[in-house]
Amino acid sequence: MKIAMLGSGFIGRFYADSLQGYRSKDKIVTIYSRREESAKKFAQDYDVPFSTTVMEEAINRPEVEVVCISLPNNLHEEAVLLCCKHKKAVITTKPLGRNAEEAKRMLQAVEKAGIFNGYLEDLVYTPKFIKAHESVKNGALGRILWAKSRETHPGPHSDWFWDIEQAGGGCILDLGCHCVEITRSYIGKDIKPVEVMCWADTQVKPIDAEDHAIGLVKYENGAIAQFEVSWTFRGGLDLRDEVMGTEGTIWVNSFLRTGFEMFTTGKAANYVAEKAESDKGWLFPVGDELNELGYNHMFMDMFNSMEKGTQPKETFYDGYVVNAVLDAAYKSAKTKQWEPVKLDIWRGKVGVSKDGHLVEYDANHYLVKEEVTHYGAKKVILKNKKNGKITEQVLS
């Protein structure tokens, strides 16, 4: 693939390292940056033949097959509309928009233009997530009851993240978009998120947006999702997921305590891992950061789908649904109430009822619990179907 990269900053460079290194046949052929010196430096570092500070110039070049957006949130829509104008396939970093209305306009634009669109939600492409999600899909955990995702760190790298007008929000939008799509994937992307309860506050940073938040998302089938996000966490980048079902549980730790620990005095230390707060003492490096963060699998899915003429796992539609959930979270943080998720476009299941939770033991009872005690007795705890009385039976 011949790629136009829009944005030469932190995420653009992460993308470039993966794009030109994993499949070894894709090439960034144009780079757009708002600052000329940044564009030229990126072009030099990644051997890009054309650099510009005019966005449309980067997109509307005959050799460009796909445009990769790694820009501040407030520039996503402008870039997407230019891709539509010039009929270029487009993949964009998260979140899709600053809010659901902005995301919906972009979704409708790419679909009207008939161009390939991919949503670069890297954390649903990490090796650990892929393995865990496959187990969930195969029924290893039974019916999913609860999914939790946590992303916390000391705060983002670039100035625009801290400006609420450019970013559209704080840590909920920046990190919650990851957590919502992760938990939504475990519960089932065809199951409708219906309402959100969220607490958010600005506890540490001198900014107008929130720097810490916790939220609950109810789904139509009775499942519950939880997100924990913060720009105030000390100790590096903490990425953790938990999934609980009727038949099992999964715990995933993606970045801290990964089995690689290192002590250094710091005298000869350098970059260790994303958002690491120190270069001395006990540190927790990541063996292959690009791979562990999902970039390699993500771009492979995007480009393989493009070549086959199929949809990738993550599209603009997914980005729109995530934005709608986060809109409800922001509203709930203000009202202190459960707020409905407003989805003008919904393509999943409709009219789903809450999954049944009653397990039949015999004609007269439901099973509450079955266990073997520490003294060797096997017993069951039962609920009478008619009168609701709870009893226990010792079986051996």
Read off the pLDDT of residues 204-213 as tens digits, 9 standing for 90 and up: 999 999 999 9
Q: For residues 313-337, give the mean pLDDT.
A: 98
Where on the phi/psi map is residue 155: left (φ > 0), alpha (ψ -120 to 50), or beta? left
Residue 277 pLDDT > 80 = no
**Distance of alpha carbon 233 from alpha carbon 251, whole angstroms:** 20
Contact 156, 174 (CB under 8 A): yes
Q: Percentage of residues in the chain with pLDDT exceeding 70?
A: 98
Domain map (residue ranges) of the chain: 2-122, 124-288+315-340, 365-394
The DSSP output letter for 349 is -
pLDDT, greater one: 266 or 95: 95
Residue 182 is inside which H or E element, if any?
Answer: helix 171-187
**Distance of alpha carbon 271 from alpha carbon 61, whole angstroms:** 36
Structure token digits, residue 347 = 């393509």
**Distance of alpha carbon 181 from alpha carbon 373, whole angstroms:** 40
Instruction: Give all strands (DSSP E) within the chain, no chain letters.
Output: 2-6, 27-32, 50-52, 66-69, 89-93, 117-120, 144-152, 193-201, 212-219, 224-230, 238-245, 248-253, 262-264, 281-283, 339-340, 365-372, 378-384, 390-394
Query: Count of alpha carbons within 13 Å of 139, Cβ hemisphere only?
Result: 0
Averaged confidence pLDDT in the chain = 94
For residue 126, the cross-strand partners are none
Residue listed under structure tokens 């992303």: 151
Residue 278 pLDDT > 90 = no
C-alpha 36 chain-centroid distance = 31
pTM: 0.92
Q: What is the pLDDT of residue 270?
A: 67
Pick the CATH number of 2-122 from 3.30.470.20, 1.20.58.220, 3.40.50.720, 3.30.70.360: 3.40.50.720
Residue 329 pLDDT > 80 = yes
Name the fold adopted by 124-288+315-340. Dihydrodipicolinate Reductase; domain 2 (3.30.360)
Nearest CA-CA partner of 367 in 356, 355, 357, 359: 359
Q: What is the dihedral of CA 247, 130, 125, 271, to 10 degrees?
A: 100
Most distant CA pair in the chain, distance: 79
The radius of gyration of the chain from alpha carbons, rounded to an integer in Å, stands at 23
* pLDDT class of 269 with cuts at 50, 70, 90: low
Q: For residues 354-373, give the mean pLDDT.
A: 89
Amino acid at 185: S
C-alpha 99 chain-centroid distance = 16
Read off the pLDDT of residues 16-61 as tens digits, 9 standing for 90 and up: 999 998 888 899 999 999 999 999 999 999 999 999 999 999 999 9
Q: Percentage of residues in the chain with pLDDT exceeding 90?
A: 83
* pLDDT class of 271 with cuts at 50, 70, 90: low
The DSSP output letter for 356 is P
Q: Could you count the other beta carbons within 10 Å of the beta carbon of residue 393?
A: 11
* pLDDT class of 5 with cuts at 50, 70, 90: very high
Read off the pLDDT of residues 201-252 as tens digits, 9 standing for 90 and up: 999 999 999 999 999 999 999 999 999 999 999 988 999 999 999 999 999 9
For residue 374, the cross-strand partners are none
Q: How far is CA 155 from CA 72, 135, 175, 294, in A?
A: 15, 32, 10, 20
Q: What is the DSSP string of 150-171?
A: EEE-S--SSGGGG-HHHHSSSH
Q: How far is CA 1 from CA 67, 125, 150, 321, in A?
A: 10, 20, 34, 28
